[in-house]
């Protein structure tokens, strides 16, 4: 595969898209990197050769290729407008690895610049078609490693390194409060996750296991996933309870069958029976300002909105 110049891989990226595109037959050159203001949109390279099949997909010789990088915060219209203002004349392909919160038909326009945006679906389609036509192959070792990862009994937080929880990106609390996520900045919150095992005591005793996030309060997490890399973001501290009491959070009402039918009973969590493993994590969040100049934080994992900070 022919490449020219020196390639710089942006630190905000997830997978190395340049290497992936090269495997798909795209030929890059890396000389004369365009000068733009620092931001989330990073330059990958310049396409130096295209074949007819690539032309059908909208690629062109001399096209500058950019990435939004992976992340939990969506790309908004002002970010693209600011980047395009600095971009040189010519054709530009923006690979949106994260969600965009605007319609592509409303993408900014600037004289002498042709902008093409590929969303995650379009990137996946391009890669998927290349796999189907044999341009790129899935390596058996990669598939085996993935299967082994899935079948491993190791708890996800026991793996070495910094753990960043994957957000669910539920912004309904902001909408109800009349706050705009587009005006906020993404941050990371230091937190703790507790893996709690213990007994629920009611008409019977039941052993349970729950995952609890300790970040500005205690929150049960039903779907624990990690981001593949740590985003380069500022950190903000919320209160972490030093001696958490799980009795109220983990108690629940359950149906119990008795002679007269099914009845609801309170099942109380027995703190004395608790076995707790604790892990340090980082939680993606958004931080913004209210009209009274006080800060608000939306925890991206628990979707809890903290105000007047």
Give the tens place of pLDDT for each residue, 181-226. Answer: 878 888 999 999 999 999 988 888 888 889 999 999 999 988 788 8
Q: Are residues 217 and 297 in the same domain?
A: yes
| 149 located within any domain | no
On average, the pLDDT of the chain sits at 80
Q: What is the pLDDT, as a whole number, of residue 219?
A: 95
pLDDT at 237: 94
Q: Within a domain: residue 142?
A: no
DSSP 100: B
> Do 300 and 164 share a structural domain?
yes
278 within domain boundaries: yes
Which range of 12-16, 158-162, 298-302 scores highest in mean pLDDT? It is 298-302
pLDDT of residue 175 exceeding 70, the answer is: yes
108, 195: one domain: no
Residues 260 and 297 in one domain: yes
**298 shares its domain with 171:** yes
Alpha-carbon gap, residue 264 to 166, rounded angstroms:
34
Q: Which residue has the higher pLDDT, 230 or 17?
A: 230
Same domain, yes or no, for 126 and 160? Answer: no
Output the 3-class SS for 134-145: CCCCCCHHHHHH
> Is there a domain that residue 2 lies in?
no
Compute the distance between CA of residue 114 and CA of residue 135 in angstroms, rounded to an integer: 28
Q: Is the pLDDT of residue 142 over 70?
A: no
Share of residues in the chain with pLDDT > 70 (%): 82
In a domain, 138, yes or no: no
User: Which segments of the chain does DSSP mark as H helices, in order?
Assistant: 17-23, 52-56, 77-86, 120-132, 140-151, 172-177, 247-250
Taking residues 66-80, report their average pLDDT.
79
The count of other CB atoms within 10 Å of the CB of residue 98 is: 19
Q: Are 205 and 282 members of one domain? A: yes
Point out the domain boundary residue: 132, 148, 183. 132
Does residue 4 fall inside a structural domain? no
> Higher-confidence residue: 18 or 185?
185
* 7 domain residue, yes or no: no
Mean pLDDT for the stretch of residues 93-118: 89
Give the count of domains, the chain.
2
6 is a domain residue: no
Q: Are residues 231 and 121 in the same domain?
A: no
pLDDT at residue number 291? 85
Q: How far apart are CA 57 and CA 27, in angstroms?
A: 15
On whether both 108 and 162 belong to a single domain, the answer is no
245-266 tens-digit pLDDT: 999 999 887 766 665 656 677 8
- 293 and 168 within one domain: yes
Q: Do both 169 and 299 map to the same domain? A: yes
Domain boundary among 132, 164, 188: 132
Q: Which of 132, 148, 170 is the last residue of a domain?
A: 132
pTM for this entry = 0.53
Please determine, for residue 126, whether its predicted confidence score (pLDDT) is greater than 90.
no
| Max mean pLDDT range (148-152, 179-183, 198-202, 274-278) | 274-278
Residues 171 and 70 in one domain: no
pLDDT at 257: 65
More confident residue, 9 or 82: 82
| Owning domain of residue 103 | 17-132
Report the share of the chain in percent with pLDDT over 90: 30
Q: Which residue, 282, 192, 281, is CA-closest to 233?
A: 282
Residue pLDDT, tens place only, 19-69? 777 777 788 887 778 888 766 788 888 998 877 778 878 888 899 999 887
């Amino acid at each position: 595969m022919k490449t020219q110049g020196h390639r710089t891989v942006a630190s905000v990226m997830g997978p190395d898209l340049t290497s992936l595109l090269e495997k798909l037959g795209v030929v890059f050159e890396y000389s004369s990197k365009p000068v733009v203001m620092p931001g989330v949109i990073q330059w990958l390279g310049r396409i130096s050769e295209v074949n007819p099949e690539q032309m059908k997909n909208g690629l062109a010789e001399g096209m500058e290729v950019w990435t939004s990088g992976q992340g939990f915060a969506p790309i908004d219209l002002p970010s693209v407008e600011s980047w395009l203002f600095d971009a040189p004349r010519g054709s530009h392909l923006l690979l949106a690895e994260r969600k965009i919160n605007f319609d592509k038909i409303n993408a900014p326009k600037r004289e002498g610049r042709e902008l093409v945006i590929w969303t995650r679906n379009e990137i996946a389609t391009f890669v998927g078609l290349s796999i189907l036509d044999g341009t790129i192959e899935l390596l058996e070792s990669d598939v085996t490693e993935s299967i082994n990862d899935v079948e491993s009994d190791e708890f996800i937080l026991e793996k070495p390194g910094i753990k960043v929880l994957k957000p669910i990106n539920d912004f309904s609390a902001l909408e109800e409060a009349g706050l705009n996520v587009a005006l906020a900045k993404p941050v990371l919150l230091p937190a703790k996750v507790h893996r709690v095992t213990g007994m629920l005591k009611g008409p019977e005793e039941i052993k349970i296991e729950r995952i609890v996030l300790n970040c500005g309060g205690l929150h049960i997490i039903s779907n624990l996933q990690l981001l593949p890399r740590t985003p380069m973001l500022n950190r903000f501290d919320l209160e972490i309870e030093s001696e958490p009491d799980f009795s109220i959070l983990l108690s629940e009402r359950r149906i119990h069958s008795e002679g007269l039918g099914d009845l609801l009973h309170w099942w109380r969590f027995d703190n004395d029976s608790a076995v707790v493993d604790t892990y340090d994590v980082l939680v993606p969040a958004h931080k913004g300002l209210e009209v009274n100049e006080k800060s608000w934080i939306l925890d991206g994992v628990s979707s809890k909105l903290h105000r007047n900070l």
